[in-house]
Amino acid sequence: MSPREPQLFAVFGFATTHDALAAEDALRDEDLDAVPIPTPRTLGATCGIAIRVPSEQAEEARRVLASSSIDVASEAALEDV
């Protein structure tokens, strides 16, 4: 069996759970594959929930979040385990 290709994601961190869930709604409204995940420590000072999207959707996700009232506290790239 060949090893699975690692999947790459963009992960967005937020100051509050409210913002994280608002972001999930905003991204899903645009048909992006947003998933709440435990916040990676690399994201720094953010709430316990981060939102992950496939890396190929990262640009669109940034555009959606920038046009909303939601403040993105931090962003990182993440490789699936």
Compare residues 20 and 32 and give the one whose CB is closer to other proteins.
Answer: 20
Q: Is 38 in the site for other proteins (CB under 8 A)?
A: yes
Q: Give the helix ranges, DSSP H, for 1-81.
A: 17-29, 58-66
**Residues 14/30, Cβ–Cβ less than 8 Å:** no
**Residues 72/13, Cβ–Cβ less than 8 Å:** yes
Compare residues 2 and 69 and give the one whose CB is closer to other proteins.
Answer: 69
Contacting residue, 11, 12, 19, 34, with other proteins by CB under 8 A: 19
Q: Which residues are near other proteins by CB under 8 A?
A: 15-22, 36-39, 44-50, 69
